[in-house]
Amino acid sequence: MSQESAEVISATAGASARAARTRISPAGDRIFMFLLYASAWFVLAIVAALFLVLLQRSWPAIQTIGLGVFTQLWDPGGGHFGVLTFIYGTIVTSAIALLIAGPVGIGAALFLAELAPKRLATPVAMLIELLAAVPSVVYGIWGLFVLVPVIRMYIGPALQHTFGFLPLFQGPIYGVGMLAGGLILSIMVVPTVAAISRDVFEAVPNDQREGMLALGSTKWEMMTKAVLPYARSGVVGALVLGLGRALGEAMAVVMVIGNKPQIVASLFQPAYTMASVPANEFSEATGKVYISALIEVGLLLFIVSLLVNISARLLVWNASGRGRR
Amino acid sequence: MQAIQETQPGRPADASATRLEVKDLNAYYGKHLAVKGVNMQFEPGAITALIGPSGCGKSTLLRCLNRMHEVIPHAHVEGEVLLDGQNLYEPGVDPTDTRRRIGMVFQRPNPFPTMTIMDNVLAGVRLAGKPPGDATLEEISEKSLRRAALWDEVKDKLHKAGTSLSGGQQQRLCIARALAVDPEVLLMDEPASALDPISTVKIEELMRELRGAYTIIIVTHNMQQAARCSDYTGFMLAGEAATGELVEFDTTSKMFTTPKEKRTEDYITGRFG
């Protein structure tokens, strides 16, 4: 089948390619095809191998702990390896990140795609994409030395003053904690959401905008009633990819979240996330089960990220399929 | 048919009160002068066709009439477009208001894909806030779909997606959407050029039915279509530096039998373009 389709492609390429086709030997075609297939399967093999190794290495922990992982107590010395506190920390920090980065990223993308003049939009879009490439440890250092003191002295007290009646904003303000983790993640997720959303908005056909404007809409109505609905599933895809980044981020979060396994309501309290536990404790882990349990945390995170990414791909795929029609 | 005789809420039943007039109009894309020195008066309630070869500026001229030209970056307009004597390009005139009074149908059918058929029809009405008169949204959508000769085909699936319809039906849906906001003038930019012959005939029949109730201005590259459907025809041609001008403007019968200009005759007899 592969050879057939290759022939069809070269046949439709036209007269100019016809001369070239006679020069490429069938053997060359087959070698090239083999290389392409090998590359594609190699990527799949890596994912499969990763999963298998994680499973194999965490097997001792899975056997010893069993369903005990789904408890709250993380006390490696005492043989307790409950990961619920990490799952909680991951969910809370990722939710904060998405709540802040979603509107900001989509807003920035709408501005760049719909409002900004081109000579402003192009450099700003490039800067945003550059932000996505900054190493996470740099964000972590900035978070530790700038964000944490600012939360301790300004943001925290202000939130407590205004929303202190909510359990979320009660208790002592350390600076390090879930709020710091969520905020640093939101800063890291904004470029992802903004860059992908911008691409999605730019893929919206112009006749959709003109159709709405010609009915007497303002520019704002055109964006909210024609552009956003058309781009809806693509934007959801951008958010889920951003969420994937937040779920998996270890380094920056380790540096600002306080690394204390507990489930508490207050965002000012330190916590721990699934990604930061292996990163933080691997070097000091003693004993077969302890190391194995850390790998099991990684396995759980791998599964969660995989599911999030698959759903994002499906959504983006749907969006572009509709754009083509 | 019966739909045309219904009186419309909010404005007089016949469109003869609404006059559309163009005075010394120049249209630019950046520094490029695309349409130069157009003067014309559109007969109220009649169908006026704008014909001419590709790139002669006929679509640009059409888009100047409801201030859609300026939507394109760096595009601007000089001169006057008068609707009932009011210059639409005077400072302080709201372009959204203008576009509500002068509806537009595009070359490619562009229903909103996330909306149902009914929501597509009502998209413009919902923008305006309150529906005109005391008609309910259901009444407005039924009336608009009847006027667009689409009601019988979609009345049982009003809550299906607008994009589930065929191309010709989608274009009539877009016409219904434009009519729902109760415009006085309807601009059509090659409304049938993306459609098959049968759908084209339906659009042309529909135009003839709407004649009298609306002032219709249609851009077409199809001379037969202009000859079949329109009362008046304007012929445009791009001259030096790709700047389009209105060469001749007269009743359709005169334009196609005894044009005054040699260039009109050459174009109509198929000698160029």
Q: pLDDT tens-digit profile of B52-65?
A: 998 899 999 999 99
- In the structure encoding, which two tokens stand for residue A20, read together? 């070239």
Q: What is the pTM of this model?
A: 0.81
pLDDT of the residue at A288: 87
- Stated as kind and residue range, the H or E segment containing B237 is strand B232-238
Please write down the HEC assignment for all residues of A74-94.
EEHHHCEECCHHHHHHHHHHH
Q: Which of A12, A36, A64 marks a domain boundary?
A: A64
Q: Is A318 on the interface with B (CB under 8 A)?
A: no
pLDDT averaged per 10 residues in sequence order, chain A, 325 residues: 44 48 73 94 94 93 87 87 92 94 95 91 90 90 95 92 90 91 95 94 94 93 93 88 90 91 91 91 87 93 84 69 43
A126 & A235 share domain:
yes
Kindly report, residue by residue over B143-165, the tens digit of the pLDDT: 999 989 899 999 999 999 889 99
How many CB pairs (< 8 A) connect A and B?
A: 67
Residues of A in contact with B113 (CB under 8 A): 230, 322, 325
Domains along the sequence of chain B with CATH: 2-268 (3.40.50.300)
Q: Is B209 exposed, middle or buried (0-12, 13-18, 19+ CB in 10 A)?
A: middle
Residue B254 β-bridge partners: none
Closest Cα of chain B to A325: distance in Å? 10
pLDDT of the residue at A18: 52
A171 & A304 share domain:
yes
Q: Which of A39, A64, A89 marks a domain boundary?
A: A64
A21 & A83 share domain:
no
Residues of B in contact with A209 (CB under 8 A): 71
* CB environment A176-203: b (16+ within 10 A), e (fewer): bbbbbbbbbbbbbbbbbbbbbbbbbbeb
pLDDT of the residue at A283: 87
- Number of domains, chain A: 2
CA–CA separation, B120 and B113 (whole Å):
9
Answer yes or no: do B123 and A218 touch at CB < 8 A: no
Residues of A in contact with B127 (CB under 8 A): 215-217, 221, 225
A193 & A263 share domain:
yes
Residue B8's pLDDT band (boundaries 50, 70, 90)? Answer: very low
Its domain, for residue A7, covers 2-64
Residue B9's pLDDT band (boundaries 50, 70, 90)? Answer: very low
Task: Please determine, for residue B250, whether its predicted confidence score (pLDDT) is greater than 90.
Answer: yes
pLDDT of the residue at A118: 86
Query: What angle do helix axes B137-147 and B117-127 make, rounded to 10 degrees?
Result: 110
- B248: Cβ contacts below 8 Å, ≥ 6 apart: B234, B235, B255, B259, B260, B261, B263, B264
pLDDT of the residue at A112: 94
User: How far lies A119's CA from each of A107, A115, A198, B131, B237, in Å?
Assistant: 19, 12, 16, 41, 34
Helix (H, G, I), strand (E, B) or coil at B103: strand
Residues of A in contact with B106 (CB under 8 A): 207, 210-211, 214
pLDDT of the residue at B12: 43
A131 & A56 share domain:
no
Answer yes or no: do A213 and B68 touch at CB < 8 A: yes
Residues of B in contact with A207 (CB under 8 A): 106, 108, 110
Task: Please determine, for residue B129, whether its predicted confidence score (pLDDT) is greater than 80.
Answer: no
Residues of A in contact with B174 (CB under 8 A): 211
B142 in Cβ contact with B154 (< 8 Å) = no
Mean pLDDT, rounded, of chain B: 88
Answer yes or no: do A226 and B112 touch at CB < 8 A: yes
A258 & A292 share domain:
yes
A151 & A58 share domain:
no
Name the A residues in 86-145 with CB < 8 Å from any B CB.
117-118
> Taking residues B129-155, what's their average pLDDT?
84
Q: Best of A209, A210, A213, A215 to disrupt the B interface by mutation (most B CBs within 10 Å)? A: A215
Of B231, B179, B246, B226, give the one whose Cα is nearest residue B45. Answer: B231
Handedness of CA A264, A163, A103, A217 (dihedral sign): positive
pLDDT of the residue at B132: 59
CA–CA separation, A203 and A18 (whole Å):
35
A161 & A296 share domain:
yes
pLDDT of the residue at A12: 46
pLDDT of the residue at A6: 44
pLDDT of the residue at A21: 54
Closest Cα of chain A to B132: distance in Å? 14
Q: ipTM more than 0.90?
A: no
Closest Cα of chain A to B231: distance in Å? 25
Task: Please determine, for residue B15, whether its predicted confidence score (pLDDT) is greater than 60.
Answer: no
B238 in Cβ contact with B38 (< 8 Å) = no
- B149: Cβ contacts below 8 Å, ≥ 6 apart: B172, B202, B205, B206, B209
pLDDT of the residue at B83: 92
- Out of A208, A215, A322, the one facing B124 most closely (by C-beta) is A215
A58 & A79 share domain:
no
pLDDT of the residue at A232: 87
The letter for the amino acid at B247 is V
A23 & A168 share domain:
no
Q: Which carries the bigger pLDDT value, residue A223 or residue B241?
A: A223
CA–CA separation, A28 and A32 (whole Å):
6
Chain B residues with CB within 8 Å of chain A CB? 66, 68, 71, 73, 96-97, 99-100, 103-104, 106, 108, 110-115, 123-124, 127-128, 163, 174, 177-178, 181
DSSP one-letter string for B46-78? SEEEEE-STTSSHHHHHHHHTT-GGGSTTEEEE
Q: Which of A45, A64, A83 marks a domain boundary?
A: A64
A260 & A182 share domain:
yes
A41 & A182 share domain:
no
CA–CA separation, B65 and B173 (whole Å):
22
CATH assignment at residue A165 = 1.10.3720.10
Please give the backbone phi and psi of residue A113, each rounded to the nearest 5 degrees, phi first: -85, -30
Answer yes or no: do B110 and A221 touch at CB < 8 A: no
